[in-house]
Amino acid sequence: MSAPIVLVVDDNPTNLKLIAYLLQAKGYDVRTAIDAETALEVVEDARPALILMDLQLPGMDGLELTRRLKSSEKTRDIIVIAVTAYAMKGDEERARAAGCDGYIPKPVDTRALPRIVAKYLGLGDELPNAE
């Protein structure tokens, strides 16, 4: 069985590298994008099972990108998890209203993230490279 593809969309290079590293170390096939346009290209080419979506992106924000993905028959079943440092009252509700399947506030709990991703992918506590 091949590892699930996870797309990490974040305009902050440090956050992008950290999250990608954490997930790759646990066996996920990780792709990255720094903006919505690049994310759309990755979705077209790689068809991820799950997207970790920063909401504050330059140009098209993460909420609009999620709306677009969830409104398309080709991409509506991709799991989208909002990941944001802009955690204000009502943000989780706005993320879910845009179509996000989950919400993770920053800073991300680095130990919990791979297991959170596994649960959303229906893997339970089993990580792709779990022995």
**What was the pLDDT predicted at 12?**
94
**What was the pLDDT predicted at 44?**
96
Distances (CA, A) of 52 to 35, 42, 131: 12, 13, 25
Please give the model's pTM, rounded to 2 decimal places: 0.92
Interval 33-79: pLDDT, tens = 999 999 999 999 999 999 999 998 999 999 999 999 999 999 999 99
Residue type for 63, please?
L
* Rounded CA separation 10/39 (Å): 10
23 token code pair: 């997930």
Ordered by where they begin, the domains of the chain are: 5-120 (3.40.50.2300)
Residue 92 binned pLDDT confidence (cut-offs 50, 70, 90): confident
Contact between 53 and 85 (Cβ < 8 Å): no
Residue type for 48, please?
P
Of 19-23, 67-71, 108-112, the one with minimum mean pLDDT is: 108-112
